[in-house]
Structure 1
Amino acid sequence: MGHWWESNVAEPGKLPLLLALFAFILTFLITRSITRMIRAGKGPFRNVTPGGVHVHHVVPGVILTIVGGFAAIAGGRHGFGTGLAAVLFGVGAGLVLDEFALILHLADVYWTDQGRQSVEVVVLTAAVVGLMLVGFLPFGVNDLSSDEQQDRATVAITVGLNFFIVLIALLKGKTRLAVIGVLVPFLALFGAVRLARPGSPWAKRAYRRRPRARAKSRVRAYRHDKRWDRLSRRFQDLVAGFPER
C-alpha cells in the first residue's frame, strides 16, 4: 500500500486528483440523500426558492467548479491551497453532474427516467478519474516503455491508432466503451470490432444495404439491454431514488 501511494499518488503529485475524486463522489451521494429527503418531506431540508425561483444546486456547483478550477490552475501540484482547490472543484463537479440531465434537456427532469442520465454520467466520470488515479494514461501511452516514450513517432502512432479505435467504437454507439477506452484501449477495441448498435451512425451507413446485419444488430442490442438494463436500473434506483411514473 505504501509503495502504491508513493509511486501512484505522492510522487506524481496526484493527491489533488484523489481529493477531488473523493469530494466528487461524497458530494454526489450526500446531495442525492438530501434531495430524496426533500422529496419525501423528511428532515430539515427544503428547496431554495428566493423570490419564488427554484435555485437548483447546479448553480452553486458551477460557481465552486470555476473557483476551484482556476485556483488549482494558479497553484502547483502540492500544498494546502492546491488541495483545497481540488476539494472545491470536486464538490462543484458533483453538484453540476448530479443535474447533468437537467442541463442536457433544459428541463427539470431530475425525478424522471431521463434524470437517470445524471447517475450514468457520474458513475462514468468517477470510473475514468479512478483509472487516471491508478496510473492509466490516455490512449494507452502508459503501455509504452521508457525508450518508446522518448520516440515521438512511436507515441504519435500509438495515440493516433488508439484514437481511431475509440472513434469507431463511438460511431458504433458504444459510448461507455469509447469513453473508458480512451484510458483502456482494449475496451475500445472490443467495442470497435463488434456489431454497431441499431440507430448509431455506423449502423445507419454500413448496414443500410445489409438487412441481415441490421436484424442481428437489433437482436444483439435487445439481448444486451434486457440482460444489463435491469441491473443498471436497480443500481440507479438504489443511489438516486425511484423516478416518477
Structure 2
Amino acid sequence: MHHQVWGILLVLLVGLIEFRYRPESPWAEVLGALFGIGAALALDEFALWLHLEDVYWSEQGQKSIDAVLIAIVVGAALLVGVSPVGDLTAAQEQGFIFTMVFLVTHIGLCILCMLKGKPITGLIGLPVPFFAYVGAIRLAKPTSFWARRWYGPKKMARAEARFAENRSKRMVEGLRDRFSPTTRG
C-alpha cells in the first residue's frame, strides 16, 4: 500500500478518537501531532490523488509541492490566529449585514484570485485582505481558467507579456524546485 493510504487512515483515526473521547493534555497534543503526520503523508502524494497514477517524479508531480506549500500558508494563518474582519466582537458591533457583505465579498475576491491562476495569493488573501484585493485587480495568468474564458486576444497578449518575465513567478518556481524531488540528484 502507498503511504498516502496510511496518511488518510491516520487522519481519519485521529479525528474519530478526538471527536469521540475528547482527551485531555498531553493526549490532545499527541493526537494533534499524529494528525499532522497523517496529513503530511497524504499531501505528499496530492498529485497521485489528482492524476490517479504515480506522477511523483514528473512535471505533474509538482502539484504535490504546491499542495504542501498551500497547507503551510493556511496552517500558519491558523496558528497566528488572523482574521480578515479583525476582532470578531468589533465586527459584531458594526452589524451582521455589514460583516456578511464584507466576508462574502472578501471570499469572492479570494476565489477570483484562484480562478486567475494565483492560488497562493488567494490563500494569503484569506487572512490578509489586501493581497486578495490586489490579486483580483491584476491580470490573470494566461494559462488560468479566468484568462482562457474571459480574455480576448489583446488582453491575453498583455497577460502573456506580463507573465513571460515575471520575477515572482521565477521566485515561486525556484522555491518549488528547491523542495521538489525532481530536481534532486
User: TM class by shorter-chain length?
Assistant: 0.7 to 0.9
1:109 alignment counterpart: 55
Instruction: Report the CA distance shift for 1:237/1:145 in structure 2 as closer, same or farther (over 3 A).
Output: closer
Q: Measure the CA separation in 2 of the matches of 1:66 and 1:173.
A: 31
Q: Percent identity?
A: 34
Amino acid at match of 1:82: A
Alignment-derived partner of residue 204 in structure 1: 148
Q: Whole-Å Cα distance in 2 between the matches of residues 228 and 132 of structure 1? A: 25
CA–CA distance in 1 between the matches of 2:163 and 2:96?
40
Tell me how far 1:76 sits from its aligned partner.
4.5
Which of 160, 177, 180 matches 1:218?
A: 160
Identify which of 121, 128, 132 aligns with 2:78: 132
Given that 2:4 and 2:42 are in contact with CA atoms closer than 8 Å, whether structure 1 keeps it comes out as: yes
TM-score (norm 2): 0.86
Once the two structures are TM-superposed, the CA of residue 222 in structure 1 deviates from its matched residue by 1.4
Is the aligned partner of 1:152 residue 2:96?
yes
Structure with bigger gyration radius? 1
Conserved? CA contact 2:115–2:145, under 8 Å: yes
The structure-2 alpha-carbon separation of the partners of 1:154 and 1:73, relative to structure 1 and needing over 3 Å to count, comes to farther
* Pairwise CA RMSD: 2.3
Structure 2 spans left out of the alignment, 5+ residues: none
Question: What is the TM-score when the length of structure 1 is the normalising length?
Answer: 0.66
- Give how far 1:109 is off: 1.0
- Indicate the residue corresponding to 1:50 in structure 2: none
TM alignment of 1:4-15, pairs within 5 A? none
Q: What are the equivalent positions in structure 2 for 1:43-122 lying under 5 Å apart?
A: 55-76=1-22, 79-122=25-68
Name whichever of 175-184 and 91-100 sits farther off.
175-184
Select which of 175, 182, 185 maps to 1:242.
Answer: 182
C-alpha spacing 1:236/1:145, structure 2 compared with 1 (3 Å)? closer
Deviations 1:94-115 (A, max 9, x none): 0000111111111111111211
Change (3 A) 1:195 1:242: same
Aligned pairs, number = 183
The residue type paired with residue 38 of structure 2 is: G
Contact kept in structure 2, 1:169 and 1:192, CA below 8 Å:
yes
Structure 1 unaligned residues grouped into runs of 5+: 1-54
User: Which secondary structure does the structure 2 equivalent of 1:136 belong to?
Assistant: coil
